[in-house]
Amino acid sequence: MKTIKLLVLSIMLISFFNCEDDGPNLQDIQSVSIEDLYAPQEGGQGQPISGTFARFDFETGLQTESETEWDVAFRGTSIIVNGGTSLGTTDEPERTGDAGVYIFDGTMAEMVAVETSLIIQDSSSGYAIQSGSGNGWYTYAGPPTYLINPTPGKILVFRTRDGKYAKMEILSYYLGAPENPDAFSDPSRYFTFNYVYQPNEGVTDFN
C-alpha cells in the first residue's frame, strides 16, 4: 500500500449546460495517476507462473487485499479483470464480479464513450487482455534492450465489477517510470498508469 500514491490530478466538474437534465445526483468523474503499483510474480521464462495478483479498486483508487472488492489485478505482464472465469493458473483469484475490458486504439483524450458491445471477460482459454508482446498492452523489444514497454495508443477500457466504467493508459513497467529505462538495472513489474473513472452506474461517456 505504501507504494501507491493517489493523486487526484483534477476533479472535473461536469459543466454541461444541460447537466440538470441528468439529475442532481451525478458524481464527478475522477482522473487518477497511480505510480509504481508493484505486481510481482514467481516462475515465468518457461516455468509455471505463480504469485498473488496485485488487486486494484477503481472506486477507491487503491490496491486491495479483498477477494471480491476489486476490478483489475496485475501479476507480471498479466492483467486480469474481476469478471468471467479463471484461466486456472496457480494463485489466480476467482472472479466474483461482472468486470470486463477491451482495448481501444487511440489516445486517452480520444476515448470519449465506451463501446459496451466490445467488452469481453476472462475465460478458461485466455485473458480478456491477451498475453504476449504486441497482443495486449505491451511491446517486448527483445535484443538488445529486452525492454517491456506499454504500447502507445492502447487504452484499456474497463467495466468495473459493479457496472461502472473506467479508461486506463499504462505508462511504465519499471520502478519510478524512468525516462530511459534499462531492463538490466531498473526493477520491473511496477505499473505506472493514468485512469479516468466514471462513478455513475451505466454512464458510458467520460465527458
Partner 1 sequence: MFKKITLLHLLFLCSSFSWSQAIFLDNDSIENSLDEVIISGTKTIRTVSSLPLNASVIKKDAIEKTNATRLSDVINEELGLITVSDFGGAEGIQMQGLDSEYTLVLLDNQPLVGRLAGTLDLNRISVGNIKQIEIVRGPSSSLYGNNAFAGVINIITEEPSEGFNGYLSSTYETHKTLDNSINLNYKKKKFYGSVFFNNYSSDGYDLIEDDGLNTVNKFNTNTLQIKFGQNISESLKVKINARYYAQLIDNIAPNSLSGETFTAEDNINLIVSHESDKLKTDLEIYFTSYFGDEFLDDDQGNRFSESFYDQILFKPEIKTVYKVNNQKELVFGLGYKYESLNRTYFDLKPKQKSPFIYFQYDFNPNDKVNLIFGGRFDKYKEYKSQISPKFSGIYKIGDNESIKVSAGYGYKTPDFRQLYFNFSNSTIGYSVIGYNVVEDVLNQLINEGQIANIIVPIDEFEEPLSPESSFGLNVGYNRDLNEKINMSVNVFNNSAKNLIDYRVIANKTNGQNVFSYYNVNNVSTFGFDIKTKFKTDNYLNFTLGYQLLYAFDLDARNAFENGEIFARLTPTSPAFRLKKSDYFGLYNRSRHMGVFKVNYNNLEKKFSANLRLRYRSKYGLFDSNSNNYLDKYDTFVKGHFTTNISLNKKINSKTMVSGGIENIFNYLDTENISSLSGRIYYLRIKHNLN
Contact residues toward partner 1 (CB under 8 A) are 44-49, 78, 105-110, 125-126, 130-135, 138-139, 141, 143-145, 147, 149-153, 169, 171-172, 177-179, 181, 192, 194
- Return d(Cα 131, Cα 138) in angstroms, integer: 9
CB of residue 68 to partner 1, shortest distance in Å: 26
Q: Are 72 and 158 within 8 A, CB to CB? A: yes
Q: Which residues contact 25 (CB under 8 A, 6 or more apart)?
A: none
CB of residue 19 to partner 1, shortest distance in Å: 26
127 vs 161, which CB is nearer to partner 1? Answer: 127
CB of residue 148 to partner 1, shortest distance in Å: 9
CB of residue 76 to partner 1, shortest distance in Å: 9
144 vs 202, which CB is nearer to partner 1? Answer: 144
Q: What are 167's three cell numbers? A: 479508461
68 vs 107, which CB is nearer to partner 1? Answer: 107
Name the burial class of residue 159, with classes exposed (0-12), middle (13-18) and buried (19+) by CB atoms within 10 angstroms of its CB. Answer: buried
22 vs 105, which CB is nearer to partner 1? Answer: 105
78 vs 82, which CB is nearer to partner 1? Answer: 78
CB of residue 56 to partner 1, shortest distance in Å: 19
Q: Which residues of 112-139 are buried (b: 16+ CB within 10 A; e: fewer)?
A: eebeeeebbbbeeeebbbebeeeebbbb
Dmax (CA) of the chain: 57
Q: What are 168's three cell numbers? A: 486506463
